[in-house]
Amino acid sequence: MQRKLNRIIMSAALSALFGGVMLSAQERVEVATIPFDYHANTKVLPAGTYRVEQLNDRGLFRLSDNSGNGIFVPATQTKEGKANNPRLTFLHYGNDYILSEIWMPGNPTGQAISERSLDRELTRKVGVASLVSVALHSH
């Protein structure tokens, strides 16, 4: 009897734990329609609609297109800003765009993405980058 009660309690605790994780993950998914090809995590991704999912609080994101193809993007630094301006920010050099920052809704800090070698190369070739932002919205 005691063993059965322990199993019920353990099952309830695990359900609450995993249910909370699932709810937390669902709240951290946004959508962006990116009108240009761009560089992210050493890959070039085509223009299109992307799901932006924050996988943890340490700055790991997953960007995936409508067919489910995705890429993991680690963020290395936080940046201070406005909590109600969810967006992706890109460095723009001529015809090249590099994912630079991810700002999720309700969070006053953004996550900076590092593509230093490509950024340095494009700065040498093109000069100073401009910033381009694409809004994130709930799906």
Residue 39 included in any domain: yes
Residue 107 included in any domain: yes
pTM: 0.75
Residue 17 included in any domain: no
Instruction: Quote the domain boundaries for residue 100.
Output: 28-135
Domain count, the chain: 1
Residue 19 included in any domain: no
Q: Tokens 């799901």, residue?
A: 51
pLDDT tens-place string over residues 11-46? 555 454 444 444 444 458 999 999 999 999 889 999
| pLDDT for the residue numbered 3 | 63
The closest of 37, 67, 63 to 51, measured between CA atoms, is 63
Residue 125 included in any domain: yes
pLDDT tens-place string over residues 87-138? 999 999 999 999 999 999 888 788 988 878 888 888 888 888 999 999 999 8
Residue 37 included in any domain: yes
Helix (H, G, I), strand (E, B) or coil at 104: coil
How far is the C-alpha of 31 from the C-alpha of 47, rounded, in Å?
A: 13
| pLDDT for the residue numbered 25 | 43
Residue 6 included in any domain: no
In order, the DSSP letters of 15-70 are: HHHHHHHHHHHHTTEEEEEE-S-EEETTEEE-SEEEEEEE--TTSEEEEEETTS-E
The closest of 133, 123, 69 to 100, measured between CA atoms, is 133
Residue 4 included in any domain: no
